Amino acid sequence: MNKAMLTVGIIILSAIALLMINIVSNYSTGSELDYYLLKETAESSMNDAVDTSFYRKTCMLRIDREKFIESFLCRFADTVDNTREYVVAFYDISEVPPKASVKIDSQTVLRVKGEGQAITTTVDAILEENYHYDQYCENKIKEEFKK
């Protein structure tokens, strides 16, 4: 009887250990996947939202706020999986200089008393340009400041 109870105890402890390993790995890989998804989506959406006509006129980078949000949501919806719920929030979208702060809250699969474990991921994206000397842009900027 003693060996049978020991065997049952080992089986129960191994089942609990496997459950805990699954929960921890789901949480950590979900957080990592959310971060890289958010980072890549924000970067590509900012590149899509660059206002080229403004750049041609002033030689300064500027993004269109509405176009950035639309592009971000479309790209994000195409790449996420349907196993988790996501809440997307945009903070501090600046058009000039191009900067956007995006926060994503996602719920894990595990539910305890009806509430899931939330994973919060935040990224601040800043669009930079290659700072090379361009005579046309220099003349354009000088003309703007003379006016």
User: What gap in Å lies between CA 57 and CA 69, rounded to an integer?
Assistant: 24
Whether pLDDT at 116 is above 70: no
Please name the residues in contact with 147: beta carbons below 8 A apart, sequence gap of 6 or more: none
Angle between helices 65-79 and 2-48 (to 10 degrees): 150
Question: pLDDT grade, residue 112 (50/70/90)?
Answer: low
Q: Of the given ranges (11-20, 23-32, 39-48), which has the lowest mean pLDDT?
A: 23-32
